[in-house]
Structure 1
Amino acid sequence: MTETEPTAATWYEATRIPRPDQARLGFDLDIDVCVIGGGLAGLTVAREVARRGWSVAILEGGRIAEAASGRNTGFVLPGFSESIDNMVERIGVDHTKQLWALSEQGVDYVRRTIADNDLPGVDPVAGWLHVDQTDNVKAVRAQVERLRWLGADVEMWPTERVRAEVGSARYFNAVHFRNAFHIHPLNYALGLAGLAAKAGVRIFEETPALSIDPAGVRKRIVTPNGRVRASHVVFAGNVQLGNLMPTLAATLLPVTTYVMVTEPLGDKLDAVIKYRGAISDTDRADNHYRIVGGDRLMVSGRVRVWQADARRFGTALSADMARKFPELGRVAVADIWSGTLGRTIHRMPQIGQMADGVWVASGFGGHGLNTTAMAGELIARGLVENDDTWRLFAPYELVWAGGRIGATVAQGLYWWRSAAEGVERTLSRLRERRRLAKEARRAAAAAAGPVVPPERLAAVTLAAAPVVAEPVLAETPVGEPPAGQGERRRNRGKRRKGKAGATETGSA
């Protein structure tokens, strides 16, 4: 098993397309737009700005997409990290529909970019199945209705179909998203970087922005070996922004997830998991997986607000899958790594203009493949075309994440919710076992044949019972005692008289 550090090689690195070397900035540069951050958000913003004719450069402190953009599970899904119900409660029905439509546009952007440019090694696979681990069919049906109300192309899968496609007895009903898909995220990012360069974007790797002066018409950014002057600056970073933009960094809660890839599993994987799209479930401890490399399983989960030994989580993820798929056994882990993302308190991305000429695209919270694409287009249109669609995200402003205390509280809430969900999952399985046992008893009774009612039984001739003569009582005249009773009374009278005579003789 290979353990990787947050910036070290991953399975994606081992299977990526050739990575071009980008130069460091070693001179002063004057441009229209400076994008800080070479992840998916920064690459999309830069590409779309350049396609509209403006000059733009990317400053990346490390290498392109070496952080969360190139280390995630590769799910391209509509929606956001925040729930639909919470969005409706906060911003209303119509506003929620508008934001959902934008999230769908982000999915379409990724799909279109891959298809139109025949990006190599991205390997999109259609479909996303979100499985419920409880037997609450009403909740799943209500979720499907809400999603259709938003315009999503979804269908409900009953338990029987889910288990036929994803062979786990722990799974019940599911929501199937037909337009979602999964990809190799690092190859997509590298392909996107190539498209940005073709559009005229200048990409500088290993060029961290050390400081920024956002005042004035021209913003000034200092790097180790050169300075940049730009009319607009876009912060497309994450928790790595650190001291460069502390106000923004303080709004992000660093959340670390762990991703493992198994050794080849051969035919037994196909026998257990037939579905080839993205799969997630309602288990907070282990909720995303997909088949990669033909017969390997990629699994992510085990959320933490701090970095920990990745090897420990590889063992835990393997055990989780063994519980869900006992036919696979304890799968051998070929690679394990972690990735840290930035999550806001309101669980929505931060997109828009912070100040005159200062823009932000950040806080995608584990739902970034569609929302980074969406943010890139929104900011490019806002910069070049004065389009104000980005203002739809204004209700989700910058909110302090609580620092260390906030992280501790968030981890505690995560554990508490995991425990509560675990109880409900256990109860669901118990209810199913009772139902199956009851059905088995009924089946056994049916196999034994019907019970014949007494009135339908054949007549049986019984032997006649012996006749016993009844005693005959002699009639006694009225006023006379029954026979024998008078004789007994006379005898008792004679005995009393004899005793009385004896007494008198003795007294004399």
Structure 2
Amino acid sequence: MTSQTVTVAGPIDAQAAVPAPQPRPRLGIDLDVDVCVIGAGLAGLTVAREAALGGLSVAVLEGRNAGWNASGHQLGTVMPGFGVPISDLIERIGFEPTRELWAMSKDGADYVRGTAALIPGVALTEGALEVSNVEIGDKLISRLQMLGEDFGTEVQGWQVDQVRRVLHTERYFHAVHYPTAFQLDGRRYLQGLADLAVEAGARIYEDTPAIGIDPAGIRKRIFTPQARLRAAQIVLAGNVHLGPPLQRLSDTLLPVWRYAALTAPLGDKLAQAISFAGSVSDTDGIDHYRIVGGDRLLWSSPETSFAVQPARFAGLIARRIRTIFPQLGPVPIEKVWSGTVGQTVHGMPQIGQLQRGLWVASGFGRQGLNTTAMAGQLIADGLLAGDERWKAFSPFELVWAGGRIGRVAGQLIGSALRGRAAMHGLLARRRERARARDLINEVRRQMARSAALKSRQEPRRPGGGGPV
């Protein structure tokens, strides 16, 4: 790989860098509110905005700054669904409950699209492609029928040749195209969402961690370093960062660090390798990328269950890009960053009421931006109108993630799954090349047989000579 300067930073999208947000105040006086939201990420800000729009007084406590971690460092792809395959959900909770969850996830995507339209400077790119590293021709039709007919989702099946017309690599086979999925600048969206929450009447306090919580009684108490709050409702939206006051809840999440990089401008050669404007992800959950700024790649690939300096993954991501698209040559990496997500044991988010007046919205690892919006809507509707649609997530209970042993196991399992996926992909490509060789050999044999037959059928020269 060529020499390069690597900066650890958040992602850039579109043409201009996102301006740094103005810091918000620290809470210094005691407050009495209807709702206290702990965590100013995507889910917490959505709850705060919707609850404030409904007339409730809302205070958001954030230990650092809004969106400082995973919420402000995601790739910005918005599409229906969850991190768990539909077939697994149906097996666990049944067909109709799965359809209900899927409809909610679509509502979450619609919420993000509608909210993005209110935020200056947030431009959308349309379409998402889920590509397969192995041939899934037999499974593609049944999956499309389920998504389209049973789950009301607009999808298209792409055959191998169509995939390779826009992604010039032999590593991908079939794909599912989601034409109504979209991408946006994740940081700009989060900052705009925070501004909208404030405009609705919510108050956001940064550098204000919750160091103690007493959820008993009608008026719950929340303690911060300089002030105390009383609230009728508490929403825990701090993911794996809730800290000692709620360690038992944090222990139900496996922290996963996802690493991503932004390349330097790659020029015309990028268009020769990728001519799809939307995002691309593979069915094994290894790579997720899209073009930004016209000629850069925003690429997310490795993940760990332990914190590692993001800059250490610059070379790995560059090699991964070159493995998929060798025609790009050495790929200079300009920025690298990471975000920590909370992964539940069952793979689904934690959404609902733990006890009267105490709510949770977390566990969004691998779920997608749409689920944070969905969770915010469900909880806000529960606060405002007693809506109980959140109970659809009751089957996905809080399960201890195993502590340090769980993190080690998660890393080993993840590595094994990625290794198995790589082997299956290699075997699929070898089978494809073998079929191509067999086809060529068969054509050659047919040509030889045709030539021999033609030679026997041609008239002979008089007197026993060769063909006339």
Corresponding residue for 2:175?
174
Aligned-partner Cα distance in 2 for 1:58–1:27:
14
Aligned-partner Cα distance in 2 for 1:134–1:182:
26
SS state of the match for residue 334, structure 2?
strand
Aligned-partner Cα distance in 1 for 2:326–2:394:
47
Is contact 1:239–1:254 with CA below 8 Å preserved after alignment?
Answer: yes
Corresponding residue for 1:280?
281
Q: What are the Cα deviations for residues 361-395 of structure 1, in whole angstroms up to 9, with x where unaligned?
A: 00011224101100111001101101111111111
Is contact 2:6–2:314 with CA below 8 Å preserved after alignment?
Answer: no
Aligned-partner Cα distance in 1 for 2:161–2:368:
32
Corresponding residue for 1:293?
293
Q: What are the Cα deviations for residues 471-501 of structure 1, in whole angstroms up to 9, with x where unaligned?
A: xxxxxxxxxxxxxxxxxxxxxxxxxxxxxxx
When the two chains are superposed, the root-mean-square deviation of aligned CA atoms in Å is 1.8
Is contact 2:83–2:368 with CA below 8 Å preserved after alignment?
Answer: no
Corresponding residue for 1:214?
215
SS state of the match for residue 326, structure 2?
coil
Aligned-partner Cα distance in 2 for 1:207–1:256:
24
Q: Normalising to structure 1: TM-score of the pair?
A: 0.86
Aligned-partner Cα distance in 2 for 1:337–1:121:
23
2:22 to 3, 17, 20: 20
Shift of 1:440: 2.7
1:71 to 70, 73, 98: 73
Counterpart of 1:32, as a letter, is: D
Shift of 1:311: 2.6
2:383 is the alignment partner of 1:383: yes
Shift of 1:164: 0.5
Corresponding residue for 2:271?
270
1:33 to 32, 35, 39: 35
Aligned-partner Cα distance in 2 for 1:120–1:366:
27
Is contact 1:258–1:339 with CA below 8 Å preserved after alignment?
Answer: yes
Corresponding residue for 1:255?
256
Aligned-partner Cα distance in 1 for 2:270–2:249:
44
Aligned-partner Cα distance in 2 for 1:93–1:408:
34
Corresponding residue for 1:337?
337
Is contact 2:41–2:237 with CA below 8 Å preserved after alignment?
Answer: yes
Corresponding residue for 1:503?
none
Is contact 1:129–1:176 with CA below 8 Å preserved after alignment?
Answer: yes
Is contact 1:77–1:367 with CA below 8 Å preserved after alignment?
Answer: no
Q: Equivalent residues in 2 for 1:158-197 (5 A)?
A: 158-197=159-198
Aligned-partner Cα distance in 2 for 1:453–1:183:
63
Counterpart of 1:2, as a letter, is: V
Q: Equivalent residues in 2 for 1:95-244 (5 A)?
A: 95-115=97-117, 117=118, 119-148=119-148, 149-244=150-245
SS state of the match for residue 335, structure 1?
strand
Is contact 2:251–2:403 with CA below 8 Å preserved after alignment?
Answer: yes
Is contact 1:3–1:310 with CA below 8 Å preserved after alignment?
Answer: no
Aligned-partner Cα distance in 1 for 2:368–2:27:
28
Q: Equivalent residues in 2 for 1:439-454 (5 A)?
A: 439-444=439-444, 450-452=451-453
Q: Equivalent residues in 2 for 1:356-435 (5 A)?
A: 356-435=356-435
| More deviation, 129-138/91-100 | 129-138
Bigger Rg, structure 1 or 2: 1
Q: Which runs of 5+ in 1 are unaligned?
A: 464-508
Shift of 1:447: 6.4
Q: Normalising to structure 2: TM-score of the pair?
A: 0.94
Corresponding residue for 1:476?
none
Is contact 1:12–1:71 with CA below 8 Å preserved after alignment?
Answer: no
Is contact 1:350–1:396 with CA below 8 Å preserved after alignment?
Answer: yes
Is contact 2:11–2:75 with CA below 8 Å preserved after alignment?
Answer: no
SS state of the match for residue 223, structure 2?
strand
Sequence identity (%): 45
Shift of 1:457: 4.7
Corresponding residue for 1:489?
none
Is contact 1:288–1:299 with CA below 8 Å preserved after alignment?
Answer: yes
Q: Equivalent residues in 2 for 1:304-343 (5 A)?
A: 304-343=304-343
Aligned-partner Cα distance in 1 for 2:394–2:161:
43
Aligned-partner Cα distance in 2 for 1:222–1:368:
32
Is contact 1:17–1:120 with CA below 8 Å preserved after alignment?
Answer: no
Aligned-partner Cα distance in 2 for 1:336–1:447:
55
